[in-house]
Structure 1
Amino acid sequence: MSNHDETPENRLRKELPEEVPVGGASEAVDAPQEQRSELTGRQRLAKGLWPPRVTRAQLIVALLLFGLGFGLAVQVASNSDGDSALRGARQEDLVRILDELDDRTQRLEDEKQGLEKQRDELENSSNQAEEARKQTVEKEKQLGILAGTVAAQGPGITMTIDDTKGTVEADMLLDAIQELRAAGAEAIQVNGVRVVAGTYLTDSGNSVSVDGNKINAPYRFKVIGKPQDLEPALNIPGGVVQTLEKEQATVTIERSDKIVVDALRAAKRPDYARSSSQ
């Protein structure tokens, strides 16, 4: 067929492009736009993640979590190694290990009991030593009062003998001291001189000497003891008070809740006596 046979319609079909399927044009047009949208989202994501923005608190938390995880991993590995070692041990080895643990536990228990016993002994010893020290101090005070080396105070009486005639002699005062001792006197002081077990009295002209110390009337006795016993002992018929009054002396006795005996004697070292414990 020649070119002249082609009709205008056929020529027009050849010149036009092939028909595009339905929707093809739309997909062809939309594809580049979707690619552009996906690319933009990735860029936005990358831009949000880099460069990283880490705060100080987040960094500290991350380090703590890392350290905790590392410690747990090491502990798990250690336990696994120990369990593996015991799991692979023979029965005889396991029995030996248990026996060693029992022995060690027993030794520790014995050591604990020994230490507790030592602690109790030390506490008892300390308490006994403290009690002995207190008793020693108290005994020293008591002996010091009797020996006249320590001042004393307590209830008692004050007896004053006024001798205007000068008729009171040393033996009369000594009788008064003996009567007071028999009535329970624990400390006696006459005109500033402490009376002790070895005290002696002598006449010295119109006065009296106590252990070589001259004292003059009026003679004042400070006596510590039970007043209810001391005063009646001096006032018994034919006793100290009546004897002194016969010599025209005036005797006054006063009770008191607090008598202070503060005259002291120097402690004397014995020449021959020694403690039997030496």
Structure 2
Amino acid sequence: MSNQDESPENPLRKELPEEVPAAPVPPAPTEESPAEPRLTGRRRLVKGLWPPRVSRAQLIVALLLFGLGFGLAVQVASNSDNDSALRGARQEDLVRILDELDDRTQRLEDEKEGLEKQREELENSSDQAEEARKQTAERERQLGILAGTVAAQGPGITMTIDDTKGTVEADMLLDAIQELRAAGAEAIQVNGVRVVASTYLTDSGKSVSVDGNKITAPYRFKVIGKPQDLEPALNIPGGVVQTLEKEQATVVVERSDKIVVDALRATKRPDYARSSSQ
């Protein structure tokens, strides 16, 4: 019977498919080679992303972008701080600030017209030499006021700062001087010391020194200029008066039709600067 099944002429043997080799059986895990855990999709994603593979060029670009973002953030924060005082200002305060800016623009226009008028007078005068001497003398008087070598009088304001707590510092008084100059002050005197272009202020204990001259509170400013411009400049929101009042100082600003600035400065010859016409 077995011989007949193995015969090549047996039709049943031809219909059977060839035997498929069995798949190899993986060896059972041992203590020396434990079975590897099967990775899920999330694990494969994490394994592909970490640790990150960053090239040098990518690192440089990332640092540049970080620096740019940090700079923009600082700029936005700075602008927000500068605008915070104006956001909380009342409508009348904003109107006053705009009026002050308009007044400054008008003063510049008036100065421009004055210079153009002087030029026309020199060009049209029959005696140009005499006209030049007159304008030179007038200019010398104006420069003497700015340099503090001559006394001056005119309309303006007085500002008295009473500092009983000793909290007012030199930089606060310097801010007041700068604000007054920006508002058109033509002559300034602080406690008997004339303020000029080279004036400097330093802290001296609980007092302040102006050009090396020690002054004590109350600090009294005598300022010549247009009172309608000077006083509002000191009282703008976040300005000089509010800053000093935050330091528990008392500030009183008074307008006057006649302010006398009589503190003088000695004429000082420059050590190195000379006229380019020589």
- Please state which band the TM-score falls in when normalised by the shorter chain: 0.5 to 0.7
Q: Counterparts in 2 of 1:11-50, with a 5 A limit?
A: none
Q: Distance in 1 between matches of 2:270 and 2:165?
A: 41
Query: Secondary structure of 1:153's match?
Result: strand
What 5-or-longer segments of structure 2 have no aligned partner?
1-123
**Cα–Cα, structure 1 residues 133 and 241, in superposed 2: closer, same or farther, change >3 Å?**
same
Query: Secondary structure of 1:222's match?
Result: strand
Q: Counterparts in 2 of 1:65-76, with a 5 A limit?
A: none
Are the aligned partners of 2:163 and 2:249 in contact in 1 as well (CA < 8 Å)? yes
Equivalent residue number for residue 54 of structure 2 = none
Query: Secondary structure of 1:256's match?
Result: strand
Structure 1 position 150 matched with structure 2 position 160: no
Q: Following TM superposition, by how much is the alpha carbon of 1:129 offset from its aligned partner in structure 2, in angstroms?
A: 3.1
Are the aligned partners of 2:125 and 2:131 in contact in 1 as well (CA < 8 Å)? no
1:138 aligned partner, one-letter code: E
Equivalent residue number for residue 161 of structure 1 = 161
Q: Distance in 1 between matches of 2:229 and 2:125?
A: 43
Q: Following TM superposition, by how much is the alpha carbon of 1:132 offset from its aligned partner in structure 2, in angstroms?
A: 2.0
Q: Distance in 2 between matches of 1:125 and 1:132?
A: 9
Q: Counterparts in 2 of 1:228-239, with a 5 A limit?
A: 228-239=228-239
Q: Counterparts in 2 of 1:205-224, with a 5 A limit?
A: 205-224=205-224
TM-score normalised over the length of structure 2: 0.54
TM-score normalised over the length of structure 1: 0.54
Superposed CA RMSD in Å reads 1.5
Structure 1 position 195 matched with structure 2 position 195: yes
Equivalent residue number for residue 173 of structure 2 = 173
Query: Secondary structure of 1:155's match?
Result: strand
Query: Secondary structure of 2:146's match?
Result: helix
Q: Distance in 2 between matches of 1:200 and 1:270?
A: 18
Q: Counterparts in 2 of 1:121-160, with a 5 A limit?
A: 127-160=127-160
Q: Distance in 2 between matches of 1:132 and 1:221?
A: 36
Q: Distance in 2 between matches of 1:215 and 1:141?
A: 29
Q: Distance in 1 between matches of 2:126 and 2:184?
A: 37
Cα distance per residue 1:114-142 (max 9 Å; x no partner) = xxxxxxxxxx9994333222111100001
Kindly name which structure, 1 or 2, has the bigger radius of gyration based on alpha carbons: 1
1:171 aligned partner, one-letter code: D
Cα distance per residue 1:19-71 (max 9 Å; x no partner) = xxxxxxxxxxxxxxxxxxxxxxxxxxxxxxxxxxxxxxxxxxxxxxxxxxxxx
Cα distance per residue 1:210-240 (max 9 Å; x no partner) = 0000001000000011100100000000100
Q: Distance in 2 between matches of 1:133 and 1:208?
A: 42
Identity of aligned residues (%): 94
Q: Distance in 2 between matches of 1:271 and 1:251?
A: 40
Structure 1 position 182 matched with structure 2 position 182: yes
Cα distance per residue 1:92-130 (max 9 Å; x no partner) = xxxxxxxxxxxxxxxxxxxxxxxxxxxxxxxx9994333
Query: Secondary structure of 2:198's match?
Result: coil
Q: Distance in 1 between matches of 2:215 and 2:257?
A: 26
Q: Which structure has greater helix proportion? A: 1
What 5-or-longer segments of structure 1 have no aligned partner?
1-123
Q: Distance in 2 between matches of 1:213 and 1:204?
A: 10
Q: Which deviates further from its counterpart, 203-212 or 133-142? A: 133-142
1:192 aligned partner, one-letter code: G
Q: Distance in 2 between matches of 1:197 and 1:246?
A: 28
Equivalent residue number for residue 267 of structure 1 = 267
